[in-house]
Structure 1
Amino acid sequence: MHSAGPAPKTCWRRINSVSEKQKSRKIRYPKPEPTPFGSYCYALTCSWIEFILPRLLHNNDLHSMHFSLEVRVPFADTELLGAAARVHPLIAFRDEGAAFKGNRVKRWLRHCAKGLIPEEIRLRKKSPTPFPRYVSGIYKRELKAILRRGGEEFYEEFLDVPRLAALCDETLDENRTAFLFRCIAFYYWVKHHRITGFA
């Protein structure tokens, strides 16, 4: 059997990062084999689970939903699917009636689940697969560098620069992390196309 050698430094850094998350979130990973190759595989597994897989799931969700496909359905509970299949389309998709505020399919499910699950879960707002957790720091550093460079008058007039600078020092949720990304993309769009104002 060929030895893969020691795990790359980047993988070890990720192992340490994941180890800290394990302690706080009680994530259980398989114990690595006591060999260099086993440690290397462990590092790659942690890297995939913590960093790469969330992005793949996010992209998969975006692309499938664009074409009205729900790729997670095969993993759903068959009894739940059976119950949903018994709801006639004329009822599920009708527009009239205030009882369910439009009677959308998910509202029926929420209504029927009342008292069966905690209210915070039953009424939780739908959200897409989240951004990978590590990108927030990357976006903060990039936006800080952009604000330090300055020089784009239209960008600085269009956005609240002091507020953006303060935002870079805050703990961000998914929505505000996405907002930072849009600010960065907007900056490079303004710079690339030499935007100076509205026509």
Structure 2
Amino acid sequence: MTAEWLAGIMAWMRVEDPAEVAAVALTCCGVWGLFRLGELVVGEDGFDPNAHVTRYRIGRCWVRDRLTYTVRLPRTKTQHQGETVVLTQQDHVSNPIGMLAVHTSTNPTNNPAGTPLFAYREGSVLVAMTRTKFLDLMAVLAERAGLEKRTGHSMRIGGCTSLLKKGVPLEKVMLQGRWDSNSWKRYVRDHAEILAPYLVGSETGAEDRA
């Protein structure tokens, strides 16, 4: 799920479908924030405001004239005390800040503390976005756009490649993805495609300096 892939499916998103809007907003945030899919969806056991990210857990501030969101995760795979992820405006159609605004206006709530971040309207009620529902929606959008289907884990991989292609330094990508040096090395060994744009960029830079 790279930025280019996202642009492709967004062209086919039905803005009148609250579930599709929520799923695309989730993907935009997931890619640029390097989230694990499980941090943004609700499991089959149901919603728990103490374990899942809610609308209330979003902070907003301006940094160098760019609107920035902080997303407080109450619990993660590696940090049971929770972690904070930063989302910044991107000069791309998949800008997570803009897509979150579309999502929250399409799927409003009067109870942000008790509403999953990516809950969507189904009739008169808000429904939590589950992993199964999300992947089903992504498969539909990919087919509609004529693109290959992607797995949930490809969101984090695609985010890495998108940031590296933008020229974001490797250490900042590691920081955004919440990797230490050892876990990053293991991750790259398992997903070697992440480094491809970085290595290509380095080669191009070397040629320019020659």
TM tier, smaller: under 0.3
Larger radius of gyration: 1
More helix by share: 1
More strand by share: 2
